[in-house]
Amino acid sequence: MASPLKVGIAGLGTVGASVVRLISEQRQALALRCGRPVEVVAVSARSRGKDRGIDMRKLRWVADPLKLATDPGIDAFVELIGGEGNPARAAVTAALKAGKPVVTANKALLARHGIELATLAEKRGVALNFEAAAAGAIPIVKTLREGLAGNSVQRVYGILNGTCNYMLTRMEREKLSFEECLKEAQRLGYAEADPSFDIEGHDTAQKLAILASLTFGVRVDPGAIYVEGITSITTADLEAADQLGYRIKLLGVAVKTEQGIEQRVHPTFVPKDSAIAQVMGVTNAVTVDAEGIAPITLVGPGAGGMATASAVVADIADIARGVRAAPFGRPQGKLIVSKKAPMQRHEGGYYIRMLAVDKPGTAATIAKRLAQHNISMESIVQRHSGPPAGGAEKASGPVPVILITYATTEDAVRKALAAVQRDRVISGRPQLIRIEKN
């Protein structure tokens, strides 16, 4: 059998410790699958004395991750430090310059510096693997880069953030408000003390940027993505979705259009009978639509120590086998620049919820404005409040009205709703959620 692949790991948090454990537990299986043993020989972390639940006394300790990255005693470098800047960036750069293949789970680093690092990996002829950066244990990177290399993919979309999916699931099932659900998610450790990165859609955008590059050959650029989070979603929206045959999910969507590659993150109505609608809790899912085959949906844990470690170890195994592919599926010089999608041109169906003033002519005014912008209605639901207690005459007030449109453009919907607001026949700001069909 060939000599062992000697691995150095920088970062021994939950994921790093799980990688060490998994390689130890799967030692024999990895050797058989890879044709050579895989051994963790050196590690680096901020705290040496922390109890990580695994015996690390036989591992060589290197205080500086930058020194570990260029250590002559390792064959491959695994970066699990996190963050888009140093020391993660400096360590990965140093390892690649030293001609060492790199495995990382760092989506922020790839979203910000992925092209730079991929270029360096190409020049040095080494692997830059990042299966764990996009959707945890789901093997979506290999699916897009290798498994579907012969297919023309038209759309890739999915649930890429477990925190948001957990919250929307709890809000739907238990009728919790957004604020109540967020507090519970923070208590359980699913949401950070500052949850904005998750709930405002930025985590999903970083992962989508990686998937869009692999799928369509565009340069990784989160700035090219339209981003909208879930903070505006209410139980009223979730109840309406349920009654209309939909569920609400925060989706990252990259799709080929006549205007180019459209990349967007936003709350979305998805049909209840779709595979993506069945994914509840902290689970992630990615659906790929490609010519010539039925849609493929991959479902699994998107985060967590062992889930992420499984993807990291799979990448290490590829290095042990001698497998190397262009990081983003094609030579870096062939990747194209994708400008931010003009959402005004986005075409699709829309859910619109508004509070209509309860007076004669309101419905006619709304219908007129929609017709002026060539917007056709698939369904209209008007919900009158019940009479006040005691049999008193019903108090006049805004009436909830829900509209589902046929396919139209975002520009048309925005202009029609702006006109309706100027007519003063609705109260407050309308809620607008896009519909993603199967």
Q: What is the pLDDT of residues 344-354, one digit of tens each?
A: 778 899 999 99
Residue type, 68: L
Summarised one tens digit per residue, pLDDT across range 420-437 is: 999 999 999 999 999 998
Summarised one tens digit per residue, pLDDT across range 193-204 is: 999 999 999 999
In a domain, 125, yes or no: yes
Domain that holds residue 424: 345-435
Same domain, 37 and 57: yes
Domain stop point among 101, 135, 169: 135
Q: Tell whether the model's pLDDT for residue 254 goes beyond 70.
A: yes
One DSSP character per residue, 355-417 reads EE--STTHHHHHHHHHHHTTPPEEEEEE-PPPPPGGGPPPPP--EEEEEEE-SEEHHHHHHHH
pLDDT score recorded for residue 396? 61
CATH code (residue 155):
3.30.360.10
Domain stop point among 135, 169, 202: 135
Summarised one tens digit per residue, pLDDT across range 32-41 is: 999 999 999 9
Same domain, 18 and 88: yes
Same domain, 356 and 251: no
Q: Tell whether the model's pLDDT for residue 343 goes beyond 80.
A: no
Taking the C-alpha atoms of residue 113 and residue 85, their distance in angstroms, rounded to an integer, is 9
Domain stop point among 241, 273, 301: 301
Of the pLDDT bands very low, low, confident and very high (cuts 50, 70, 90), residue 372 is: very high
pLDDT score recorded for residue 389? 45
Of the pLDDT bands very low, low, confident and very high (cuts 50, 70, 90), residue 391 is: very low
Average pLDDT over residues 58-66: 94
Same domain, 186 and 241: yes
Same domain, 164 and 279: yes
Summarised one tens digit per residue, pLDDT across range 260-280 is: 899 999 999 999 999 999 999
Same domain, 409 and 426: yes
Same domain, 131 and 182: no
In a domain, 337, yes or no: no
Of the pLDDT bands very low, low, confident and very high (cuts 50, 70, 90), residue 390 is: very low
pLDDT higher for 196 or 48?
A: 196
In the predicted model, what is the mean pLDDT of the chain? 93
Q: Could you tell me the CA-to-CA distances from 303 to 111, 285, 434 in Å, in that order?
A: 18, 12, 27
Instruction: With beta carbons less than 8 A apart as the criterion, state whether 96 and 102 touch.
Output: yes
Q: Tell whether the model's pLDDT for residue 394 goes beyond 60.
A: no
- What positions carry a catalytic annotation? 207
Same domain, 164 and 284: yes
Number of domains in the chain: 3
Q: Could you tell me the CA-to-CA distances from 288 to 8, 154, 272, 292, 353 in Å, in that order?
A: 34, 8, 18, 12, 30
Average pLDDT over residues 58-86: 96
Q: Tell whether the model's pLDDT for residue 210 goes beyond 70.
A: yes
In a domain, 272, yes or no: yes
